[in-house]
């Protein structure tokens, strides 16, 4: 299974007046982590648009569990992986570590989408390419 890790330093603009990370900032970090994970696996946004005719990978569901807060200047590690893949949707899990401690678990469900051949002004789900499945799930 492909796992991507990246270290992130908490910035001043990530924090609320109490000097803890304002929770929506984590969802932005998770979105970035998913994009970076795809790129690290060899599938940049430009690549998936060109090679597979996709428009993007929009999120259709998200949630998180918060255990330990982070503050300005802290370093966190975001560990991201695709847990499961269906025809066009897939589930991503992000684990945020502060040192060795699990600070947050984030969950996303995303869908691969392309243009609808019957109506190019509309989007339509697209099947998950086999080579991407093999890379992320280690099949």
Question: What are 33-72's pLDDT values in tens digits?
Answer: 999 999 999 999 888 889 998 999 999 999 999 999 999 9
How confident is the model at residue 138, as a pLDDT?
A: 86
Q: What is the reported pTM?
A: 0.92
Which sign, positive or negative, has the C-alpha torsion 61, 45, 56, 10?
positive
Predicted pLDDT of residue 81? 97
What is the C-alpha to C-alpha distance for residues 29 and 90, in angstroms, rounded to an integer?
18
Q: Which stretches within the chain are classed as H helix?
A: 23-40, 45-52, 130-137
CA–CA dist 23, 32 (Å, integer): 15
Active-site residue 16, yes or no?
A: yes
What's the pLDDT score for residue 120?
Answer: 87
What confidence score (pLDDT) does residue 53 get?
Answer: 87
Which regions of the chain are under pLDDT 50? none
pLDDT at site 17: 94
Among 16, 47, 61, 116, which one carries the catalytic annotation? Answer: 16
């Amino acid at each position: 299974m492909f796992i991507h890790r990246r270290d992130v330093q908490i910035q001043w603009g990530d924090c609320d007046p109490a000097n803890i990370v304002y929770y929506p900032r984590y969802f932005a970090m998770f979105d970035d982590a998913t994009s970076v994970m795809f790129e690290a696996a060899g599938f940049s946004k430009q690549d998936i648009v060109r090679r597979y005719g996709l428009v993007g990978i929009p999120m259709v569901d998200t949630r998180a569990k918060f255990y330990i807060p982070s503050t300005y200047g802290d370093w966190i590690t975001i560990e991201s992986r695709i847990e499961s893949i269906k025809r066009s949707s897939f589930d991503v899990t992000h684990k945020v570590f502060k040192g060795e401690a699990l600070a947050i678990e984030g969950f996303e469900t995303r869908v691969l989408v392309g243009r609808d051949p019957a109506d190019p002004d509309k989007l339509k789900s697209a099947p998950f390419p086999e080579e991407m499945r093999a890379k992320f799930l280690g099949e």
